Amino acid sequence: MIKVLDSVVDAIGLTPLVRLDRLTKQAGVKGTILAKLEYLNPGFSKKDRAALGVIEEAERSGVLKPGQTVVELTSGNMGTGLAIVCQVRGYPFVAVMSKGNSEERARMMRALGAKVVLVDQMPTSVPGQVSGGDLELVEQTAQRLSEDLNAFRADQFNRQGNWLSHYRGTGPEILEASNGAIDAFVDFVGSGGTYAGVTRALKERKPDVNCYIVEPEGAAASAGEKITQPEHPIQGGGYSIPHLAFLSDVAVDGYLQVSGDEARQTARLLARTEGIFGGFSSGANVAAALQLLAEKEAGRTVAVVICDSGLKYLTTDLWE
């Protein structure tokens, strides 16, 4: 039943699951891709779930005090989710982001009431391509601001509310919408929260589901490969962090790599064939799913997440 919600925060989650039959037909592969349209969340990304999960867990445990400032590093999506949740719940929010991320993200967070602190990239970094070194500079600034402001650090790489939001929401929603007809799941990892939460939920209910981590070609740190391309255009992940906390005890059935150009071209194909306007990581997920349907998961059903909206990349080369 459709009902009136108390706030936009209550609109987070319950996103559609959509078949990508036109795309798979054009790509010439056998099988089915089911896409979870997380870009239809209020902040246009899957990170709305993680933001709400982190804040609710902090409120429940008492580590976040009423009216306390919240600080977090972000590539833009977690920051947007936190800006929305904090605005509704009454917490000032400071987002710390690399200048290498697209400007649309900073503008959106400011519009939602957040203070945005932009951090210069390393001298050797490429604009629009955030490396692990760039992220470390952002982390240093976020730590300093948290101390100076006596703020609550949302810490998306470690707070349990991140992966729990996907364990309780995204994963079960995929299973319910598909009637359990899922053979594989792929996810481009940033913090690892989506992969960890969805994989746990899927494996508990259907242990034979194969779950794959997706990383940028040349920056597959989780797969244990040598980092040869720390700068890549797939924003929101692939930071060459070898040990993501959420992945330490989660099943991984395989690792897939996608180049920046593959992610770019697949995002464009997704828009043209299915009318789904996703970003770089969405393109990476669908590209990885196509890899699987062309090989080891041929003829089967693969679930992916459309992580965020292509609107957040209008000043990048994604839509040139």
Q: What does the pLDDT average to over 63-74?
A: 97
pTM for the model stands at 0.94
What letter would DSSP give residue 168? I
Range of the domain at 241: 8-45+162-319
**How many CB atoms lie under 10 A from the CB of residue 199?**
28
Q: What does the pLDDT average to over 9-21?
A: 98
Residue with tokens 């977090």: 72
Residue 1, pLDDT score:
75
Which among 111, 129, 153 is the end of a domain?
Answer: 153
Burial of 5 (0-12, 13-18, 19+ CB in 10 A): exposed
Half-sphere exposure of 178 (CA within 13 A, CB side): 27
**Model confidence over 216-256: pLDDT tens digits?**
999 898 999 988 887 788 887 877 777 899 999 999 999 99
Average pLDDT of the chain is 95
Instruction: Identify the CATH number of the domain in which residue 121 sits.
Output: 3.40.50.1100
Residues 85 and 142 in one domain: yes
Residues 116 and 250 in one domain: no
In a domain, 237, yes or no: yes
In a domain, 1, yes or no: no
Q: How far apart are CA 279 and CA 314, in angstroms?
A: 10
Residues 268 and 172 in one domain: yes
Residue 128, pLDDT score:
74
Residue 130, pLDDT score:
82
In sequence order, the β-bridge partners of residue 119 are 98
Whether residue 211 is predicted with pLDDT greater than 80 in this model: the reply is yes
β-bridge pairing 301-306 and 17-19 = unpaired
* Alpha helix segments (H runs only) across the chain: 21-27, 47-61, 77-89, 103-111, 132-148, 160-165, 171-178, 193-205, 260-274, 280-294
Which among 126, 153, 180 is the end of a domain?
Answer: 153
**Model confidence over 253-292: pLDDT tens digits?**
999 999 999 999 999 999 999 999 999 999 999 999 999 9
Residues 6, 165: contact at Cβ < 8 Å?
no
Which among 130, 153, 176 is the end of a domain?
Answer: 153
Burial of 313 (0-12, 13-18, 19+ CB in 10 A): buried
Residues 124 and 82 in one domain: yes
Residues 211 and 291 in one domain: yes
Residues 236 and 250 in one domain: yes
The tally of domains found in the chain comes to 2
Q: Any catalytic annotation for residue 30?
A: no
In a domain, 278, yes or no: yes
Of all helices (H) and strands (E), which one includes residue 33? strand 32-37
In a domain, 85, yes or no: yes
Residues 36 and 56 in one domain: no
Catalytic residue, chosen from 25, 30, 46, 47, is 47
Residues 20 and 59 in one domain: no
| Cα–Cα distance list, 126 to 121, 221, 233 (Å) | 8, 20, 9
β-bridge pairing 184-188 and 152-153 = unpaired
In a domain, 74, yes or no: yes
Tokens of 62: 């008492």
Whether residue 159 is predicted with pLDDT greater than 80 in this model: the reply is yes
In a domain, 270, yes or no: yes
In a domain, 3, yes or no: no
Residues 55, 82: contact at Cβ < 8 Å?
yes
Q: How far apart are CA 157 and CA 303, in angstroms?
A: 23
Residues 38, 306: contact at Cβ < 8 Å?
yes
Whether residue 18 is predicted with pLDDT greater than 80 in this model: the reply is yes
Residues 174 and 315 in one domain: yes
What residues have CB less than 8 Å from 115, skipping those under 6 apart?
A: 92, 93, 94, 95
